[in-house]
A and B are shown apart, each in its own frame.
Chain A
Amino acid sequence: MDELELLKQDWQKKEGHLPKLSYDDIYNMIWKKSSSIVKWIFYISIIEFVFWALINLIPYNSESAELEKTWNTYGISTVLTVVNYVVLIYFIYKFYRNYKRISYTESSKKLMKAILDVKRTVTQYVWFNIGIFVAFLIITLYGSLKYGPNSEKIMEAASKAGNEVLFWLMLTGIFLLAVAMVLTLIWLFYKLLYGILLNRLRRNYNELKKLEV
């Protein structure tokens, strides 16, 4: 392509027309704050870790433990809490390790993969937490209906109105619908958030990856 050769010649001669920054200009720049997406992903991730840890771990006090004992759900809740802690530690470790792997001195493809991996870890963590959250919800709902103070009345009303199986089926249906709606909202939120942040990076990464097929 002749034009490209012409461009190459011109390109090599460009030096004279380029801006020249002084020593002080550059010196001042190295202390400025970075605005790269990696930093944003890091901040958002920290917020997510803290947010989900708070939602799942803090509301747990002795009062709720007592309540759970009367609902016969104490055992399973404790197991879930322990699992939650262990997995949280695992995810923080994995996040940190992936984050450290981000290096601008690697090849473009490796760098982009490292950034996407960090994001993936956080997404996995969030979905795991949502899972735990829903599990807690089911256990609590079931416990309070079956063993709570008003459970007898509810059950009675249910058996009077029709049959108990239908009651449970309807309840499950409503519950699943509500969960599905909340999950869709969260999913949309993430799509938007990371879509804005990572669209370009993902596109570039896929472009390099596509070459290998």
Chain B
Amino acid sequence: MNKELEHKFVTELQNNQNVVHKICSLYTNNREAHNDLFQEITIQLWKAYPKFRGESKFSTWMYRVSLNTAITLYRKSKKRIKTQDYDSVIFKIKADEYDETQEQQLKLMYNAVKQLGDIDKALVFLYLEDKDYSEIAETLGITEVNARVKMNRVKNKLRTILNP
């Protein structure tokens, strides 16, 4: 029985690991921290897995546990992200896919997002994952109206970072 559960969990996580990697890349600045956070999220997912009843999709449930781990987990990293750290981040922009302006824009944008606070990052993440406001609200535990308000503020913040 337990072996079965293990197998099911590992398989599902393996198939959905992209979600966790994306969260890790938003909340950490280097490969080592990325792997640490991935591991912690995996542990929390596994601990919570027996309670996962399949009411929602595995991936939906995963968003919640993973983000919660990233937001609440202690990680003392006061260092501000410098541009040269950017290469260590797994998000590399493929030059041939975009023209130069777009590429530059994207780089600046990723940098700006990484400068946001934990909660703001969570909002951006869910937004980028194309979640609607009701799901964003439910994941964070706020009302839908507040989720919209907050998202607008985040957009303003990003604007300020990009055009100081």
- A-to-B contact residues, CB < 8 Å: 1, 3-4, 6-8, 10-15, 17-23, 26-27, 29-30, 32-38, 40, 103-112, 115, 196-197, 200-201, 203-204, 207-208, 211-212
Contact = CB atoms under 8 A, between A and B. Distances in A.
Interface residues of B, number: 69
12 contacts: A1-B159, A4-B155, A21-B14, A26-B10, A36-B40, A106-B141, A108-B122, A108-B141, A196-B76, A207-B117, A208-B119, A211-B142
B61 interface: yes
B118 A17 contact: no
B23 to A, nearest CB: 11
Contacts of A29: 38-39, 42-43
Contacts of A11: 22, 128-129
A103 B43 CA distance: 13
A10 B18 contact: no
Main secondary structure of the interface of B (DSSP, over half): helix
Interface of B: 6, 9-11, 13-14, 17-18, 21-22, 25, 36, 38-40, 42-44, 46-48, 51-52, 61, 64-65, 67-69, 71-76, 90-94, 97, 102, 105-106, 108-110, 113, 117-119, 122, 127-130, 138-143, 146, 149-150, 155, 158-159, 162
B159 A6 contact: no
The 5 nearest A-B residue pairs measured at CB: A107-B141, A109-B141, A37-B74, A30-B46, A11-B128
Nearest to B151: A4
Given A37-B74, A105-B64, A207-B117, A3 B158 contact: yes
Given A3-B158, A30-B6, A109-B142, A23 B11 contact: yes
A8 B128 CA distance: 5
Contacts of A10: 93, 106
A110 B43 CA distance: 20
